[in-house]
Structure 1
Amino acid sequence: MVVNLRTKKRLVSRVVGVGLDRIKFDPERSDDIADAITRANIRGLITAGVITIKAAKGTSRGRSKFKKAQKKKRGTTTGSKKGRKGARVGKKEVYVKKVRSLRYRLRVAKDRKEITNPEFWTLYRKVSGNTVRNIAHLRGLIEEIKEHRKSRT
Structure 2
Amino acid sequence: MTISNELARPATEADIGCLYELTTMFTPELQVRIEEFETRCRGLLNDPRWFVAVANGPNALSGYVAVQDFGLGLRGSFCVGRIHDLFVIPTARRSGTGRALVESAFAWAKDRPSPMILDWQATPESVLFYESLGFKADYVGDFPECPGFTLDLRQN
TM (norm. structure 2) is 0.22
Between Structure 1 and Structure 2, whose CA radius of gyration is higher?
1
| Larger relative helix fraction | 1
Compute the TM-score of the two structures, normalised by the length of structure 1.
Answer: 0.22
Higher relative contact order (CA 8 A, sep 6+): 2
